[in-house]
Amino acid sequence: MTLQEKLQSGRFVVTAEVDPPRGTAIERTLAEVRRVAPLVDAVNLSDAPMAHLRMSPFIIARLVEERTGVEAIPHLTARDRNTLALQAELLGASAIGVRNVLLLGGDPPERGDHPFAKPVYEVGAVELVRLAATLNRGKNWAGGDLEGAADLFLGAAANPGARDLAREAERFWAKVEAGAGFFQTQPVFGLAEVEAFERALGRPAPVPILYGVLPLVSAAMAERVAAWARVPEGLRAALARQGRAAGYAWARRTIAELKRHRAAGVHLFPLGRPQRVAAVLAAAG
């Protein structure tokens, strides 16, 4: 079954992020995928994450699928390409057999290892979803006919921990209207956060949402993550007392809560440490 079929079947789906290579050596990435393969339904491959140079996500996605058998979800950001280049990437991805894509705005270049690079952002995340959906309908962004439509399962991002949940809900529904078929979210650290987000949506989501889970491994890491996510005080205290074990236990409990909540699934953020996926998921069953 493909990722899309699994999500449509109501099966609890698990995905995890794996970093593309920093150069042309792909074996480390393939090894990381193989390490998590027994535990996940698909792996995400980011597009120059945090604005740091990495291999093209579509190229490594195709290589991952061919050499490991694990389905890939490459990312595409609006940061680096104009609408011509975005369309070219998506058409090429579909032609080589890539089935999924997560569409994002992208981190600004000044945050990364090429701070002198010029950002593009000709379209935002919502328009990028609409652009990709247009290609799926056999049209280009200018309204012309394509010689063969794209066939991509379109994903988008959401942030249940956003300070302005009303604004986040507005963007969620705009992405659904634009053509998003599934969502993966920023990390959540408990069911209360998920329920607040779902209340803000106002009605049940018509597409699957995979909620992000980030296993924290230290009190220092929790402090850094707290700058952009809602890290509960209880988790911070547990990390200060027990360290990594507390972070893994909290992540496992969050997954169990989401499963009981009948969420579509979870998306793991191991931050370049695939052993964290195994440590959390193997024990979570």
What CATH number corresponds to the domain at position 113?
3.20.20.220
pLDDT classification of 1: cutoffs 50, 70, 90 = very high
The Cα 18–Cα 167 span in angstroms is 29
Half-sphere exposure of 240 (CA within 13 A, CB side): 7
Res 152: pLDDT = 98
| End-to-end Cα, the chain, rounded Å | 20
Paired strand residues for 73: 44
Task: Identify which has the larger pLDDT, 277 or 6.
Answer: 6
Q: Are strands 13-18 and 42-45 parallel, antiparallel or unpaired?
A: parallel
Domains: count for the chain: 1
Mean pLDDT of 98-116: 95
Tokens found for residue 17: 């992020």
Res 67: pLDDT = 98
Q: Are strands 71-77 and 42-45 parallel, antiparallel or unpaired?
A: parallel
Residue closest to 120 by CA, chosen among 89, 151, 148, 81 = 81
71: Cα separation from own chain's centroid: 14
Res 75: pLDDT = 98
Instruction: Quote the pTM value.
Output: 0.96
pLDDT exceeds cutoff 70 at 284:
no
Q: Are strands 153-158 and 209-213 parallel, antiparallel or unpaired?
A: unpaired
Q: What is the pLDDT of residues 34-48, one digit of tens each?
A: 999 999 999 999 999
Place of tokens 């931050």: 271
Mean pLDDT of 54-64: 97
Give the 3-state secondary structure of residue 275. helix
Range of the domain at 26: 3-284
Q: What is the DSSP letter of 145?
A: B
Rounded (5°) CA angle 33-276-41 = 45
Res 281: pLDDT = 83
The Cα 65–Cα 107 span in angstroms is 26
Paired strand residues for 42: 15, 71
pLDDT exceeds cutoff 80 at 272:
no
Q: CA 250, 251, 252, 254 torsion: positive or negative?
A: positive
Give Rg (Cα) of the chain: 18
pLDDT exceeds cutoff 70 at 248:
yes
Res 197: pLDDT = 98
Q: CA 172, 176, 178, 182 torsion: positive or negative?
A: positive
Average pLDDT, the chain: 95
pLDDT exceeds cutoff 80 at 96:
yes
